[in-house]
Structure 1
Amino acid sequence: MTVVFISFDKANEKSKDAEIAEKIESAEVVESLPYVYSDEGFERRVHEMTHQKVYAESKWGAFEMKEENIDMLLKVLDETEMENEESYREILTTWKKGDFSNSVEVHNRIWSSNEGDIGEAERLATPEEERIYVEENFRMD
């Protein structure tokens, strides 16, 4: 089940989020998303994906860094206009190629732009730290 959060600027007018919702609902996506993307929501998902690849004292939110999710976000970029579209496309394309070396930088840029004060990424996660993170957040069998 997909839950869609849509905000409306005026009672009888569609907001940008509603237009994005219509585009995404009509698009063929790899996997359902838990909500429709605004610029802030898209940024949140990219940030949450970095949590799998970085070591930080605290992390809030998890969105698995896997090819299907990367493809899904690239499709969202194809279907909508985002404020930092070029930057997001470069980040996601790099990740799609299996290069996650920019994850600390991406995490901290988003973290800083949201005035984060707890949870700055210190380094890339070790393979063991990433394995544990994936098991705890995505493999709850």
Structure 2
Amino acid sequence: MKLKRFVQISVGLTVAVLIAYGGFKLAQSGLETSVEDLNQEEVDGEPTNGKPEEVEVVLKVTNNEDLDELFPDTMSEYDMQEAIHYMSHGLVQANQKWGKIELTEDRVERLLYVAEFNKDTYTHGNRYITILMGWNNGDFSNAVDDHNFIWGLWNGTVGKATRLLTSDEIKKYNSENFN
């Protein structure tokens, strides 16, 4: 009688262990698959493998605009921050955006000149130059960091940039705001 009970308990425990082990392996393989799948899939249109999408930004040339008046040599540091910040809104996703300035070739070049002219008087002059040089060279890959740098200087609590807009989203933003 005791042997029969021992065998029943042993078989029961063995089955329970095998079921638990099988469930663990199944869950583990499911997690591995999920991680692999996430590396291949996109979330909100962005690759999740750590490589941002190449964003194509076509900058307009500004015609008949007095850039010296719009962005004077004596531009305050706050106005420089505001111009960079507002231009970056056309490049980044954020849950709130206040202010907009169209990002154009001429404006970037003029702001770069003003930033270089004032680099010794601006607290963050070298950073503005770095941002604007990148944009002037067609590199917008750091626009999220560029936006959030200014946002942080202003002690932002709402509207932190979370990702770059896709090329289509940039076109849509520009058509909705500047055409």
Q: Same fold per TM (> 0.5)?
A: yes
Quick one: which of 21, 33, 57 aligns to 2:70? 33
Give the distance between the partners of 1:30 and 1:41, measured in 2 at CA: 14
List alignment gaps of at least 5 residues for structure 1.
1-28
After superposing the two structures, state which structure 1 stretch, 32-41 or 107-116, moved more: 32-41
Equivalent residues, number:
111
Matched, 1:116 2:156: yes
Whole-Å separation in 2 of the counterparts to 1:68 and 1:96: 9
Structure 1 stretches of at least 4 aligned residues deviating more than 6 Å after TM superposition: none
Deviations 1:64-87, CA, capped at 9 Å, x for gaps: 222111011012124333221111
Q: Are residues 1:74 and 2:112 paired?
A: yes
Q: Distance in 1 between matches of 2:68 and 2:166?
A: 28
Over the matched positions of the two proteins, sequence identity in percent amounts to 36
Change (3 A) 1:30 1:44: closer
Q: Which runs of 5+ in 2 are unaligned?
A: 1-65
CA contact (8 A) 1:31 1:68 kept: no
Normalised TM-score (structure 2): 0.57
Q: Show the counterpart of 1:5.
A: none
What TM-score comes out, normalization by structure 1 length? 0.71
1:96 corresponding residue in structure 2 = 136
Matches within 5 A, 1:58-69: 58-69=96-107
Q: Distance in 2 between matches of 1:133 and 1:52?
A: 6
SS in 2 for 1:129: helix
Deviation at 1:37, TM superposition (A): 2.1
Is the 8 Å Cα contact of residues 71 and 110 (structure 2) preserved in structure 1?
no
RMSD: 1.9
